[in-house]
Amino acid sequence: MNITSKNRCIKYLPQFAVFMFFLLMLISSNFISAQTSQQKNKETMQRQMEKLQKEIKEIEVVINSTSQKKKQSIGELQSLLAKIKSREKLINNLQSQLSSIDGDIRTTQSSISQQTKKVGEMKKQYADMIRKAYHNLTLQNEFLFIMSSASFYEAVMRYGVLKRVADFRRIQAKQLQSEIVDLNKKRSSLESQKKEQLQVYSEENKQQQELIREKREQSDMVAKLSSQEKDLRKRFNQKQQAVRNLNKRIEAIIAEEIRLARIKANEARAKSKTPTTPTEKKDVESIPLTPEELALSNDFASNRGKLPWPVSRGHIISGFGKQEHPTLKGVLIENNGVDIKTTAGSEARAMFDGVVVSVFSLPTTNTCIILKHGEYFTVYSNIDDAKVKSGQKVTTKQPLGKLVDDADDNLTKVHVEIWHGKEKIDPEAWLATN
């Protein structure tokens, strides 16, 4: 190869180096972006898994606190159903994690395959470049290449070309080394992913076995309780009548509280001689509030999904709205709130700061307490011994009274409702998830 040909080939080497650098940067940035997104998704699933594991442990604590009585009941069956529901969610979570890990492994394997190929090509190109440089640009040739220049300026330019060639070789060597290090990291990451996959597979298999055992236990319990259907149906009908009476009383108390608030607001408006404007017609369905009550109402509303539970530990055994009875076929239960099973001897506690508007009992029910939080009301029933009275201010988590331990159903529970004005809303959506 003559000097002119060498010069022509060499001048394009720095441009090729720049192109390779930006190509590597683009590939790396896309890989890092994908890894970051996958990591966030994995962390979310792991938090959900931990939450579900905690839920199952909470249910087991409550079940174990009553299982010593060795009496199968609707309450025990409801707890078992709640645990099965949580375990099914946990299994779904683990399966999602496995799917995510499988995707990570495939992505890593594909990346390793591509990078292995790229490293092989880089090694070959680098070796070819070194070999050609050795044959064509030895120290003697380089010296002659510079000394054969027609002028001092051309000699300087040729020296610069040779320097750029040397620099390019160093860049290529450094990039090759970097690619090899990155490739080894990915191989190490793949090994970690495979270990994690085995651990999650093991946990999922364990949970599947537990689920099979619990469903077998559920079938046995349903069969035994079904043999007592006549007695169960009679007690259910009695309790449903008591629930209907309780619902009527709660609705009446809340409606009366709203009516009195409007009368009080109208009287205050009349004294201050504030004229009624057409825009105030919308207040017919809302509750007139003082500035202090409005602040409390807004504070309550902003805590949706963050309210503390009305018991120190427990789990929901009957949700909001219509649902099937766990053993009586064709029987629907209408629930204005949620029922939370807890340990024997537990106390109900206020879910938020508020004012007690009513403490009452009916002949067929236990004590019920209603708190007002601005436009919102919370209801707590199945209390044996109330610790508060009407008109009293209460604070978040303040004990309201000891709960009734139902010997017949082997059950200690609190029934909780949340109302926004005259509208019943699902308490589960307002309770803190942890």
What pLDDT digit, counting tens, does each position of 397-420 carry? 999 999 988 766 677 899 999 999
Phi, psi dihedrals of residue 115, rounded to the nearest 5°: -70, -35
Between residues 155 and 342, the one the model is more confident about: 342
Over the range 175-212, which residues count as b (16 or more CB within 10 Å of their CB) and which as e?
bbeebeebbeebeebbeebeebbeebeebbeebeebbe
Q: Kindly tell me if the per-residue pLDDT of 424 is higher than 70.
A: yes
Report the C-alpha gap between 351 and 307 in whole angstroms: 6
Residues 238, 114: Cα–Cα separation, whole Å = 71
pLDDT tens track for 12-62: 444 544 455 555 555 555 555 555 666 777 677 777 777 766 766 666 666
Mode of pairing for the β-strands spanning 354-360 and 367-373: antiparallel
Q: What band does 3 get if pLDDT is binned at 50, 70 and 90?
A: very low
φ, ψ for residue 421, nearest 5 deg: 65, -125
Q: Quick one: pLDDT at residue 133?
A: 60
Which value, to the nearest 10 degrees, does the dihedral of the CA atoms of residues 192, 194, 196, 199 take? -140
Q: Which amino acid would we find at residue 321?
A: G
The span from the CA of 403 to the CA of 94, in Å, is 37
Pick the more confident residue, 210 or 338.
338
Could you report the per-residue pLDDT of 77-106, keeping only the tens digit for each? Answer: 777 788 888 888 888 888 888 888 888 888
Q: How many CB atoms lie within 10 A of CB 354?
A: 24
**The pLDDT of residue 230 is above 60:** yes
pLDDT at 337 over 70: yes
- Measured between alpha carbons, how far is 95 from 42 in angstroms, rounded to an integer? 12
β-strands 399-403, 405-406 pairing: unpaired
* 395 vs 417: CA distance, rounded Å: 18
pLDDT tens for 184-223 read: 888 888 888 788 888 888 888 888 888 888 787 777 777 7
**Domain ranges within the chain, ordered by starting residue:** 3-226, 289-429
Q: What percent of the chain has pLDDT over 90?
A: 23
Any idea which architecture 289-429 has in CATH? Answer: Distorted Sandwich (2.70)
Which of 156-165, 332-341, 379-388 shows the lowest per-residue confidence on average (mean pLDDT)? 156-165
Report the distance separating Cα 308 and Cα 261, nearest Å.
Answer: 27
Residue 1 has pLDDT above 70, yes or no: no
Q: Which of helix, strand or coil describes residue 2?
A: coil
Cβ pair 365, 380 in contact under 8 A: no
Residue 306 confidence (pLDDT): 94
Higher-confidence residue of 310 and 244: namely 310
As a whole number, mean pLDDT of residues 294-308 equals 94
Confidence of residue 9 (pLDDT cuts 50, 70, 90): very low
